[in-house]
Amino acid sequence: MDFDIFFGGEFDEHAAVLNETRAALATPFKHLCALGVSTIREGGKIVFFGNGGSAADAQHLATELTIRYINDRAPIAALSLSTDTSALTACGNDLGFDQIFARQIAAVCKPEDLIIGISTSGNSENVLQAFKQAHAMGCKTAALSGKGGGKLTGLVDPLLIVPSQTTSRIQEMHIILGHLLCGALETELGLV
């Protein structure tokens, strides 16, 4: 491997996807921010979830909101469904892996909540089942995806689809979008 070519190529691809994401997602991102602000102002919470790297992003973003993103401030109500190993393993064992997020949504969510799923492919069955449960309860829904959006297309609004087929680039854009959401909420809610 030529390290310099590899190193430069990764940055070039990241920069290209970053620019394409910026151009493509301004409108759905604005919609996501408006939903987040209205959710918190109405006494709801923001619930994140996903699998693998997306689970880590869900946990990361929920923490940025509940603890702090930029400055010390009042907490913003948020949680990640990917952090309770007992719930995940019990549900996976007893009800099936496809139900791990739907079951938690049924237990802890209310119609005033905003449910945000993160799935690079848009095809994870447990993510799809979670949104079906959220819709049945009247919750607001949004998602971050890539690879064309998969089966999430038409299931949630807004759906922020990163214009890439590369999982690592999609994940990089998801955390940028998540950080932008945290910053926008702090600012719009007057917490900075």
CB 179 within 8 A of CB 153: no
Residue 48 pairs in a beta bridge with 80, 116
Would you list the DSSP string of 36-102? HHHHHHTT--EEEEESTHHHHHHHHHHHHHHT-SSS------EEETT--HHHHHHHHHHT-GGGHHH
| The three-state (H, E, C) secondary structure of 90-156, written as one string | HHHHHCCHHHHHHHHHHHHCCCCCEEEEECCCCCCHHHHHHHHHHHHHCCEEEEEECHHHHHHCCCC
Each residue's pLDDT tens digit, 137-189 = 999 999 999 999 999 999 999 999 999 999 999 999 999 999 999 999 999 99
Each residue's pLDDT tens digit, 91-146 = 999 999 999 999 999 999 999 999 999 999 999 999 999 999 999 999 999 999 99
Each residue's pLDDT tens digit, 15-60 = 999 999 999 999 999 999 999 999 999 999 999 999 999 999 999 9
d(CA 75, CA 70): 12
d(CA 131, CA 116): 9
State both tokens at 96.
């099936």
State both tokens at 99.
């139900």
- What CATH class does 3-188 carry? alpha beta
Q: Give the pLDDT score at 192.
A: 64
Q: What global pTM score does this model have?
A: 0.96
CB 49 within 8 A of CB 118: yes
Residue 71: is its pLDDT beyond 90? no
Give domain limits for the chain. Answer: 3-188
d(CA 23, CA 3): 30
